[in-house]
Amino acid sequence: MGLLERYHASPHRQKINNVLMVAGFLSLSVPLLAEGVQFILRFRRRTDDKTVTRRAPSKIYRVVVSGGPCSGKTSSLTHLRDACMHAGYEVLVVPEVPTLLMQGGALYPGLDGGPRLVAFEVALIQLQIQMEESFAMIARSTGQPTVILHDRGSVDVAAYLMPSDWLAVLSALGGLSTLDLASRYHQVVHLVTAADGAPSFYTLSNNASRTESAKDSRVIDRRIKSAWSLHPHQVIIGNETDFAGKLAKATDVVLVGAHKFFSEASKETGDIEEGGCGGGENFGRRRFK
C-alpha cells in the first residue's frame, strides 16, 4: 500500500491534518516573527541614536472672535486679518455660519421651536465644523504659520438655546460636550456689545439681520460670555475706551497669543495638537482631526 493510500485509510487522518497545518503555519510565521523582532531592534537602535524622524509641529493658530450684537466683530476681523498678515502670518477667516444659513433662507425657528430648533442648531454646528476643517486643510497645505480667525465659534450656539435644548444638540452630535467644542480653538476674544458701556453707538442700521434691542443685546452678550467661560484663554474686551482702543486691545491679544504659540511650537520636537487650547490634563481631550 502506497503512502497516499495508507494516509486515506488511517483512522488518525484528522490528527495528521492538524499536525500538517501547525507545521505549515510555523513555517510561515517563524520567519515573519524573526523579521518583526529585527525591525523592533533596528527601531530601538534608531531611537537610542535619536535619529527617529518626527512629524512637523503644528502651524495653525485658531482664534474665535465672538461677542454680543453690535460689538464690532466685523470691523475687528478685518483689522485682525491685516495685522496678522503684517506680522508675517498667513491668515484665513471662517465666515459666520448662522448668517450663511439665514441668507440661504434657513430661518432661525426661535426659542420655542422644539425639535425644529434642535435640528437647525445641529445642522449649523455640523456645517461650522466642516467649514473649520476645510479652512484648516487649506492652511496645512501652505506649510506656513497660519492664523485662522473664526467669526463666532460652535459654542456661541449655546447662548441662543435653553439648557435642555443645548444638551439635546450635543447628544445629536454624538454625545459631544461643550468642552469638546471649546477645545477646538486656542483663543477666544469676546467683544462686549456697544449696548453695554457705549449705548450711543448701538445701532441696527449696519446689519439687516440684527433685530435685538439694546437690552436684549446685553442679555445675549452675557450669555455668550458665559457659554465660553470654561475656555482658559477667553479674553473679554469691553468698551472702556473708544473703538480704536478696543481694536488695539484685540489686536494685541491675538498677536501676543499667536507669537507665543508659534514660538513654543518651533521648539517642540514631538507632535503638537493643532486643534485645542490645552488648559489642563482633561481639557479638550477629544480632538477633530
Q: What is the pLDDT of residues 153-199, one digit of tens each?
A: 999 999 999 999 999 999 999 999 999 999 999 999 999 998 887 87
Q: What 3-state class would DSSP assign to 65?
A: strand
Cα 238 to Cα 80, 96, 261: the distances in Å are 17, 21, 25
Could you read off the pLDDT of 231-257 as tens digits, one per residue?
Answer: 999 999 999 999 999 999 999 999 999
Confidence at residue 25, expressed as pLDDT on a 0 to 100 scale: 42
C-alpha cell at 104: 440661504
**HEC-encoded secondary structure of 83-116:** HHHHCCCEEEEECCHHHHHHHCCCCCCCCCCCHH
pLDDT at residue 208, rounded to an integer: 53
Tally of CB atoms within 10 A around 8 = 9
Q: What is the pLDDT of residue 26?
A: 44
The series of mean pLDDT values per 10 residues for the chain, 289 residues long, is: 54 55 46 45 43 52 94 93 97 95 91 93 97 96 96 96 96 96 97 86 62 82 96 95 95 97 74 48 30
